[in-house]
Amino acid sequence: MLDIRKIPLGALIGLILTSLFLIAAIFAPWIAPYGLGEIVGSVWEPPSSTFLLGTDNLGRDLLSRMIYGARTTIFIAVLATALSFILGSVLGFAAAVIGGWFDTLTSRFVDLMMAIPTLIFALVVLSVLPSNVVTLILVMGLLDATRVYRLSRAVAVDINVMDFVEAAKLRGEGEVWIIFREILPNALSPLVSELGLRFIYAVLFLSALSFLGLGVQPPEADWGGMVKENKDGIVFGIPAALIPAAAIAALAISVNLVADWILNRTTSLKGGRG
Amino acid sequence: MAKVTVKDKPDLLLDIRNLRIEATVYPPGEPPRDITLVHDVSLSLKRGRVLGLIGESGAGKSTIGLSSMGYGRGGVRITGGEVILNGRDILKGGKSGLRKLRGREVCYVAQSAAASFNPAHRLMDQVVEASLLHGVANRAEAEKRAIALFRKLSLPNPETIGNRYPHQVSGGQLQRVMTAMALCSEPDLIVFDEPTTALDVTTQIDVLAAIKDAIRDTHVAALYITHDLAVVAQVSDEIMVLRHGRLVEWGGTRQIIKEPRQEYTNALVSVHEITHQEQKPGTNPALSVKNVTASYGGGRVKVLKNVSVDIYPGQTLAVVGESGSGKSTLARAITGLLPPEQGSVTFGGRKLANRLADRPKEDLRQLQMIYQMADVAMNPRQTVGTIIGRPLEFYFGLRGAERDRRVAELLDKIEMGKGFIDRYPAELSGGQKQRVCIARSLAAKPKLIICDEVTSALDPLVANGILKLLLELQKEEEVAYLFITHDLATVKSIADSIAVMYRGEVVRYGPKSQVLTPPFDAYTDLLLSSVPEMEIGWLEKAIKGRRMESAGN
């Protein structure tokens, strides 16, 4: 069914990199050479055979922290993106199909949320609420859901006036069928491309929060936090901060390469047979 | 505006020799391959003559027409032959040669003027653009010429219509403005690509007459592309019949329509009379619409005024009228999509709830609808099996093998095989799509099916097949049809009774034989006399005999 030779080069690179990141994230305790908070050497040691990527500002193994960091970063980003998509698209589709007061109410509420700069909103909420993983996921997911809501509502409004949706309404179908069976399959293409972008925004947002000290709390590792911990080294020519930064960039690109490829496959109206 | 024929220009304007056009297709599950769309077609056209190109969709008529300006639409490639225009092969002239030629020697009039004009610019700017770019005239001269052309094409307010934007004029007027645009740079050849197909019959006749006059007075040569033989018979000197990219027959207009030599031409020419015995209205109507009034925008725009019609079981009521007459709105009022303000709809002896949401499932099941555009009436992400199977699940609770068996039965009824169950709509032809829509509505075992212009997007021969199928199914299933159309030929072949609508009112209603018997009211007369007949000189006769002006949509 899926022929590996037919996968374009870009998608292949994206798939390989993404799966490497995922494997690192899932099997972190078995792969990482040292423990997460274990101080094993001196401060900012250069890469060597014992410490493949060197050590960080406290003398912890950078590679181990990168691997554990992948786990935290990807876990939070995936859950936040999933939350934002499920919430945003279901509400967006419902607003388009039901219309009337429901549409007005949700749309204006979303406008209100979007009027406040996301980062500031998150900073305020996170400084009040206890800073743990659940709060982080909820805050990130809810804030991102406003973007997904707007996109899916716009797409669904267009689809909702098509004759086949009218035919379904004349048949007497309920809202659930119309949203999930008539509109969702046709709205999937823009949503999938948005999914890749949103996931990356979630990673970047989490990194930004951690960098500001409101995200993942030490000694837990995440890539954004690691950039913060090691940023002072840059002045002394020590690249420890650039490694997590590069990982963020690599993840961003590879996930989007995969998303683009999925997008290409799902836009076919002939069941992917063409 | 008479064009002075320059002495040194040859009398033979366009000479296409052994034209071969190819395209690459990407069939499912196979490697891409090249297919030939046009197989070595040759044609020649003298200065000032009109050649009609006719055939079904996919016959290659537009492709051949556009090759006269060296253009291949949608990745189509001209791979062989010569296109000699004004004594030189334009295919050898390169890009800059083509650029000099397009808009100067050859101009193009598209099927949908509404979609072809740039909505952000005034009409005048677009009409004179080609003349200015090619340096044929300066702005003042070009505008003067455009105004003269507007007058010749009998557009209202020729002095000022150029200041309007495309959305500010009606469809028929826009098509005439486009003709003026093509004529403005005084080309030698105009390619008309189905210029009247998208218009109402009553408007088509005006546009047709305007185009004919303009061609005669400017001595421009033209390629007239259409699938309607009756239309092409009015404007062209010669007709070329095409099928599957091959030449079928080429001859004078009179010879083609009076003495066709090929069997295929004969099939196109012969009037497709479907014999249908008119049924007398029964006593108990299946659906009865009483004094229905409906409007859009909360009562501001009245689109239906006091409409009353009856449909009897197993019979067909045809609702005819031009765009904006309210015939589709009548369907929306009956289905409950647009709740009527006054009046009632009675179905099978009980009064239907005004709003769709208030109707029980059983009422919805017995009242089905088939749409004009079959490709948007089906979810492109569902297979034929799901599309036809869903009403079976939804209304009758059929599942699994039982459902599949019934789907296969329905596919058999619409003369399509079992192999179509797993296909997506994009993998079907236009006629097959409409058949699937028919099967979907039949799956509900309805008492009444509303058919909204179901054949107007289809080729004549395909449409004929659909009409025959509908009539057969009517006999088998005892289903009644409410048939909305603007095509009177269709009405004549399938209706039992007819309602003529004009501006939201029923102006004439009764059994078919009675409605189609004189004396007519002015509007019915206009509708009937506007249907093109396959007869040379019909256009002039029809224009002269009209009693009222058309609305121009």
Q: Which residues contact B456 (CB under 8 A, 6 or more apart)?
A: B372, B463, B485, B486, B487
Contact B391 A171 (CB under 8 A): yes
Contact A274 B26 (CB under 8 A): yes
Contact A172 B361 (CB under 8 A): yes
Contact A269 B425 (CB under 8 A): yes
- Partners of B378 on chain A (C-beta within 8 Å) are 164, 167
The residue-averaged pLDDT of B199-204 equals 80
Contact B376 A163 (CB under 8 A): yes
Q: What is the pLDDT of residues B207-236, one digit of tens each?
A: 888 888 888 888 889 999 988 888 888 889
β-strand partners of B451? B370, B483
Contact B377 A169 (CB under 8 A): no
Query: What is the percent of chain B with per-residue pLDDT over 90, rounded to a whole number?
Result: 18
Q: What is the pLDDT of residues B272-323, one digit of tens each?
A: 667 777 777 777 888 889 888 988 877 777 888 889 999 998 899 999 888 7
What number does CATH give the domain B12-269? 3.40.50.300
If one counts every other C-beta atom within 10 angstroms of the C-beta of residue A170, the result is: 19
Q: Does A270 touch chain B (CB under 8 A)?
A: yes
What is the reported pLDDT for B548?
65
Nearest-10 crossing angle of helices A9-26, A62-98: 110
Q: Does A265 touch chain B (CB under 8 A)?
A: no
Residue B73 in this model has a pLDDT that exceeds 80: no
Q: Which residues contact B270 (CB under 8 A, 6 or more apart)?
A: none
- Partners of B377 on chain A (C-beta within 8 Å) are 163-164, 167
B205 vs B114: CA distance, rounded Å: 18
- Partners of A185 on chain B (C-beta within 8 Å) are 379, 381-382
B37: its two tokens: 């769309």
Share the mean pLDDT of chain B: 85
A184 vs A179: CA distance, rounded Å: 6
DSSP per-residue codes, B277-306:
PPPPP-SS-SEEEEEEEEEETTTTEEEEEE
B358 vs B352: CA distance, rounded Å: 9
Give me the residue from B361, B369, B380 closest to A186, CB to CB. B380
Kindly give the pairing relationship between strand B238-243 and strand B246-252.
Answer: antiparallel
Q: Is the peptide bond before A244 cis (omega within 30 degrees of 0)?
A: no
Cβ-count burial B124-160 (b if 16+ within 10 Å, e if not): bebbbbbbbebebbeeeebbebbbebbebbebeebee
Nearest-10 crossing angle of helices A242-266, A223-230: 150
A180–chain B nearest CA distance, Å: 12
Band of pLDDT at residue B4, cut at 50, 70 and 90: very low
> What dihedral angle (degrees, nearest 10) is formed by the CA atoms of B99, B101, B106, B112?
0
Q: Which residues of chain A have pLDDT under 70?
A: 1-5, 268-274
If one counts every other C-beta atom within 10 angstroms of the C-beta of residue B211, the result is: 26
Q: Which residues contact B177 (CB under 8 A, 6 or more apart)?
A: B113, B117, B123, B127, B150, B153, B155, B161, B169
B217 vs B230: CA distance, rounded Å: 23
A217: its two tokens: 């709390």
What is the reported pLDDT for B6?
47
Contact A171 B337 (CB under 8 A): no
- Partners of B426 on chain A (C-beta within 8 Å) are 269-270
Structural domain B287-527, CATH architecture: 3-Layer(aba) Sandwich (3.40)
Provide the residue ranges of all domains of chain A, joining segments of one domain with +: 4-266
Q: Does B161 touch chain A (CB under 8 A)?
A: no
* pTM, to two decimals: 0.79
Band of pLDDT at residue B253, cut at 50, 70 and 90: confident
Is B496:B464 a contact under the CB 8 Å cutoff? no
Distance of CA B514 to the CA centre of its chain: 28
Q: Does A266 touch chain B (CB under 8 A)?
A: no
The residue-averaged pLDDT of B492-499 equals 88
Q: Which of B265, B493, B383, B211 is nearest to A185 (CA)?
A: B383
What is the reported pLDDT for B59?
81
What is the reported pLDDT for B2?
42
A54–chain B nearest CA distance, Å: 51
Q: Is B510 left (phi over 0), alpha (psi -120 to 50) or beta?
A: left
> What dihedral angle (degrees, nearest 10) is formed by the CA atoms of A85, A91, A93, A95?
-150
What is the reported pLDDT for B323?
76
Q: What is the pLDDT of residues B431-446, one digit of tens each?
A: 889 999 999 999 999 9
A233 vs A245: CA distance, rounded Å: 14
Mutate to test the interface with A, among B379, B429, B440 (most CBs of A within 10 A): B379
Contact B379 A164 (CB under 8 A): yes
Q: Does A271 touch chain B (CB under 8 A)?
A: yes
Higher pLDDT, A94 or B459: A94
Mutate to test the interface with B, among A2, A166, A266 (most CBs of B within 10 A): A166
B297–chain A nearest CA distance, Å: 15
For tokens 């009337």, the residue is A100
| Residues in B 338-377 with any Cβ partner in A closer than 8 A | 356, 359, 361, 364-365, 368-369, 371, 373, 376-377
Task: Give the amino acid at B432.
Answer: Q
A221 vs A210: CA distance, rounded Å: 10
Dihedrals phi, psi of B497, to nearest 5 degrees: -135, 160
Is A26:A17 a contact under the CB 8 Å cutoff? no
Domain A4-266 coded CATH 1.10.10.10: no
Is B459:B57 a contact under the CB 8 Å cutoff? yes
B487: its two tokens: 């095509």
Q: Which of A20, A76, A56 is nearest to A226 (CA)?
A: A56
- Alpha-carbon radius of gyration of chain A: 22
Contact B335 A170 (CB under 8 A): yes
Mutate to test the interface with A, among B328, B367, B381, B440 (most CBs of A within 10 A): B381
Band of pLDDT at residue B271, cut at 50, 70 and 90: low
A172–chain B nearest CA distance, Å: 6
Question: What ipTM describes this predicted complex?
Answer: 0.77
Give me the residue from A173, A269, A274 closest to B380, CB to CB. A269
| Residues in B 512-531 with any Cβ partner in A closer than 8 A | none
**How many beta-carbon contacts under 8 Å exist across A and B?**
61
- Partners of A181 on chain B (C-beta within 8 Å) are 379, 382
Band of pLDDT at residue B256, cut at 50, 70 and 90: confident
B82: its two tokens: 């010569």
Q: What is the pLDDT of residues B518-534, one digit of tens each?
A: 888 888 888 888 888 77
Contact A269 B381 (CB under 8 A): yes
B308 vs B499: CA distance, rounded Å: 10
What is the reported pLDDT for A200?
85
- Partners of A182 on chain B (C-beta within 8 Å) are 379
Contact A269 B371 (CB under 8 A): no
User: In chain B, how long is the greatest CA-to-CA distance?
Assistant: 79
Rounded to 5°, the CA angle B246-B250-B256 comes to 120
B416: its two tokens: 């399509």
